[in-house]
A and B are shown apart, each in its own frame.
Chain A
Amino acid sequence: MAEADDVLLRLDDVHTDIGRYKILHGVSLTARRGRVSMLLGRNGAGKTTTLRTIMGLWKARAGQITFDGQPIGAMDTPDIAQLGIAYVPEYMGIFGKLTVRENMLLATGAQGFAKDSLDRVLAWFPALKLKWDSTAGSLSGGQKQMLAIARAIVEQRRLLLVDEPTKGLSPVVVDQLVEALLGLKNEQTTILLVEQNFRVALAIGDDVAVMDQGRIVHSGDMAALGADEELQQRLLGLSMAVDT
């Protein structure tokens, strides 16, 4: 069990509905400072809904969400982002009609890019440098994903919410992403990562929470889950155990 000040993000018994559909039924989870917390589960388990609720894009019907001790459940999305939380949605959310540079610029404040910060990000994703002035819509799938992540991290953030970054990407690109995420981990960035790729989850995850039908059905140490094949099968089924 984590100590109180070890926890950066805490969800307490969160219920979220979309229209008449009840999606989250009392989700409780924590993300520890400087750790990578994995959020796993089948399609439709409610992982995306959880991230969107944290980000304020959907409002929870009940329950508490606290960020560094501060309740954020009632805050508007822009204000939540201003607290230092970055969100990379499943569909990436890049602006196709804007250039790569303009996409990145949106993530900075009035002063523009901080040189070292930008350099480090471009070192992780060199393709973005090449395409700096091209429209984001002309990028390949992998490059778009890199842009989405790069945009989220070009400024120092306290919490990163990432939704299925490796989905549909080639192994080469996946490796690049994992490298970047490990780099971030070294910088003590707190990450809450939704993933379908178990191999990636094992490679970078510290803690894990597994969701099913809008509930958390398991939480604990990632490595421990990685070692327990029987538990993996039970929780995630064959669809998860093998990397795609």
Chain B
Amino acid sequence: MSKEWLDRLQQWAPYAVTPLIVLAALPAMGLTAWVTLTIAGLTMGMMLFLVASGLTLIFGLMEVLNFAHAAFVTVGAFVTVSVLGPLVGWTTAPSLTLNLLALLMALLAAAAASGALGFVFERIIIRQVYGAPLHQILITIGALTVIEQLVIVIWGPDAIALPKPATLRGSVFLGSSPIETYRLVALFVGLAVAAAMQLILTRTRIGLVVRAGVEDREMVQSLGYNIRRVFVGIFIAGTALAGMGGMMWGQYQALVNYQIGDSMLILVFIILIIGGLGSVGGCFIAAILVGLTSNYAGFLAPTLALGSNILLMALVLLWRPRGLFPIGEQ
């Protein structure tokens, strides 16, 4: 009886980590701060999830780790700048509808641009290095450098301001806790995308093939599916998602510079490691965990804040060496 109970506990323990941390934080910081920071953490988690989800699927399916993923984030952020520039009439108007419409345009443009770049990138660079991990790491780092420098060539070396739309500045109040309005929008967008991904993965044939492919690529091919073509699609979707993440993040920071992708990259890697490579659900939970940790640590222990997620990763690895929700054999 107790062995079964222990097994159950083992199985459900990873799910408990996030709620436990959220609950533990409450007494440590008081209700007002807790509400603000938790929402902030969830939002940051959503934006990180957008960027990380593509990468984890790409790795889970084809075992390709694209260090240049950060470049797609950066491209998305800068495309946003170019799109919102001409739309300044919409963003400065006191109309919520126009503001949101402008953001939607930027979101779609960022996704399209990054997706298109992803298509080209897969063709020229990734195809060379399937099955060769050393090469992948080297060539994608080189590509990262080149793309970032090209971004500078096109948009200049200086950081560019990206002020939030008129109706989305400032905060709303939940009780006595201030919550930035933009954060609510980002939270909503993130959840919507996550929900859409979940639907596609669980309700469609292509989603089924992807989920099976992450577990056992060879077997899916033996069943007659051309996993290479599926992979190209996933790669483009992943880079498009990264572009969206870049757009949301850049808008959130209200400042865009050519290293915006790099700053996210290390957090994204931590999320991948904590969540388990290839697991989208794990990625979701890990992203929220990382977002919350960043915000909580930033409030409770500022000097530790930057390193808090790395410490979190180390702790998780000591407990579960393959991440919280690993897939299949790795």
Contact = CB atoms under 8 A, between A and B. Distances in A.
Same complex for A and B? Answer yes
Interface of A: 55, 57, 76-78, 81-82, 86-87, 89, 93, 95-98, 102, 105-107, 110, 151
A82 B224 contact: yes
A77 B221 CA distance: 6
A86 B211 CA distance: 20
30 contacts: A55-B222, A57-B222, A77-B218, A77-B222, A78-B225, A78-B226, A78-B227, A81-B222, A82-B224, A87-B222, A89-B222, A93-B216, A93-B218, A95-B211, A95-B212, A95-B215, A95-B216, A95-B219, A96-B328, A97-B215, A98-B208, A98-B212, A102-B208, A105-B205, A106-B209, A106-B220, A106-B223, A106-B225, A107-B223, A110-B205
Interface residues of B, number: 19
Nearest to B279: A97
A54 B219 CA distance: 14
Interface of B: 205, 208-209, 211-212, 215-216, 218-227, 327-328
Contacts of B223: 81, 106-107, 151
Ranked 3 nearest A-B pairs via Cβ = A81-B224, A93-B219, A77-B221
Where chain A touches its partner, the secondary structure class is loop
Contacts of B209: 106
A55 B216 CA distance: 16
A93 B328 CA distance: 11
Where chain B touches its partner, the secondary structure class is helix
Nearest to B220: A106
Given A57-B221, A81-B224, 8 more contacts: A76-B226, A93-B216, A95-B211, A97-B328, A98-B211, A98-B212, A105-B205, A105-B208
A77 B205 CA distance: 20
Nearest to A82: B224
A232 B211 CA distance: 45
Contact of A57 (B218, B225, B226, B328): B218
Contacts of A78: 221, 224-227
B194 to A, nearest CB: 19
Contacts of A76: 221, 226
A18 to B, nearest CB: 14
Most buried by B among A98, A106, A107: A106
A60 B70 CA distance: 40
A160 B129 CA distance: 33
Contacts of A57: 218, 221-222
Contacts of A106: 208-209, 212, 220, 223, 225
